[in-house]
A and B are shown apart, each in its own frame.
Chain A
Amino acid sequence: MSSVKRGRGAAGKRPRLRVRSAGPADLAQVVAIDERATGLAKPEYWAGILRRYGRRGAPRRFLVAEAGARIVGYIVGEVRDWEFGSPACGWVFGIGVRPDTREAGVGAALLEAITAAFRRLGVATVRTLIARDNQLVLSFFRSQGMMAAPVIPLEKDIG
């Protein structure tokens, strides 16, 4: 996995970032970032994500952003063919950034890295799905140039 390096190092405001594939040693910090955002610790879920998305070569990516020895963000996604009738495109399933490193380009670097990986896998579109009331994440993806996709998510209560 190629890495994206960004930032001006210790002298600048932004941390020097390295984006790379996630490994087992990163899981605890990823779980903590996710727990901070969602209020739920899901170590088993993230161990499963690492098993399925952490392998090299597959059309799946689980990347982390590292600043020094600290994991400051993660992103998970994969290329899917003909899902929902759509030609192959990259899907971003999850993104998280430590609150104390927000607005420092971490999310943008992660999205840039996974987008580059998707492009290398031959796709020209990246999509994601976000809860309507998640204004923080919606605004982030909008700021990265993402617009409404020509699809409408539907659901039905079957309880």
Chain B
Amino acid sequence: MRLQKNTLLALYSVLEFAAQPGRQLSVAGIAASLRASPHHLAKVLRTLGRAGLVDSVRGARGGYRFAGNARRVTLMDVIGLFEDIGATPPRARRSRRPAELALEQVLREIDDTARATFGSVTLDTMLKLIGRRDAKATG
């Protein structure tokens, strides 16, 4: 399973915000910590803002802060803003062969599992997972 670059950027940044709720973070600061281009990140944050996951704060010291509920927002909620996992392929002009239909069925099974997994992991659960990984890494 691979996610697009924008999706990954959105997930990492929303986790960064959710880890520090109420704290205002600058685009430049997050871009530096994620090693991403500020211009590219700004576009991603605008999409997150339209979805109500972050609030933009205007002004010279402006930036963004988390506006969602970490116990309710799932990875799928974020991913769905940027890509469609398991989108139905465009209808073929010709009738498809049984092998194509069978393979499509198996791929759909994988997509269903991926969607269920992303839909069951909240940001809060991810932060706990990150905390456990961090504790392991620091011994």
Interface positions of A (Cβ within 8 A of B): 103, 132-133, 135, 138-139, 142-143, 145, 148
Q: How far apart sit A138 and B117, CA to CA, in the bound complex (Å)?
A: 9
Report which of B112, B116, B129 forms a contact with A138, defined as CB distance below 8 A. Answer: B116
B63 CB, min distance to chain A CBs, angstroms:
29
Interface positions of B (Cβ within 8 A of A): 71, 74, 112-113, 116-117, 119-122, 124-125, 128-129, 132
B125 CB, min distance to chain A CBs, angstroms:
5
Chain B residues whose C-beta falls within 8 Å of the C-beta of A103 in the assembled complex: 71
- Contact (Cβ within 8 A) B113 A132: yes
Chain A residues whose C-beta falls within 8 Å of the C-beta of B120 in the assembled complex: 135, 138-139, 142
- The interface centre, meaning the residue of A142, A143, A145 with most chain B CB atoms within 10 A of its CB, is A142
Q: How far apart sit A103 and B129, CA to CA, in the bound complex (Å)?
A: 19
Chain A residues whose C-beta falls within 8 Å of the C-beta of B117 in the assembled complex: 148
Which residue of the partner chain A has the closest CB to B74?
A139
Report which of B113, B124, B132 forms a contact with A143, defined as CB distance below 8 A. Answer: B124
User: 10 closest A-B pairs (Cβ-Cβ)?
Assistant: A138-B120, A132-B116, A143-B125, A139-B120, A142-B125, A142-B120, A142-B121, A135-B119, A135-B120, A139-B122
Q: How far apart sit A135 and B121, CA to CA, in the bound complex (Å)?
A: 9
Q: How far apart sit A135 and B115, CA to CA, in the bound complex (Å)?
A: 11
Chain B residues whose C-beta falls within 8 Å of the C-beta of A139 in the assembled complex: 74, 120-122, 125
Number of A-B contacts (CB under 8 A): 30
B35 CB, min distance to chain A CBs, angstroms:
28
Between-chain CB contacts (< 8 Å), 24 pairs: A103-B71, A132-B112, A132-B113, A132-B116, A135-B74, A135-B116, A135-B119, A135-B120, A138-B116, A138-B119, A138-B120, A139-B74, A139-B121, A139-B122, A139-B125, A142-B120, A142-B121, A142-B122, A143-B71, A143-B122, A143-B125, A145-B128, A145-B129, A145-B132
Chain A residues whose C-beta falls within 8 Å of the C-beta of B122 in the assembled complex: 139, 142-143
A125 CB, min distance to chain B CBs, angstroms:
17
Q: How far apart sit A103 and B74, CA to CA, in the bound complex (Å)?
A: 16
B76 CB, min distance to chain A CBs, angstroms:
9
B75 CB, min distance to chain A CBs, angstroms:
10
Which residue of the partner chain A has the closest CB to B132?
A145
Chain A residues whose C-beta falls within 8 Å of the C-beta of B113 in the assembled complex: 132
Which residue of the partner chain A has the closest CB to B115?
A132
- Contact (Cβ within 8 A) B128 A133: no
Chain A residues whose C-beta falls within 8 Å of the C-beta of B129 in the assembled complex: 145
Q: How far apart sit A114 and B99, CA to CA, in the bound complex (Å)?
A: 46
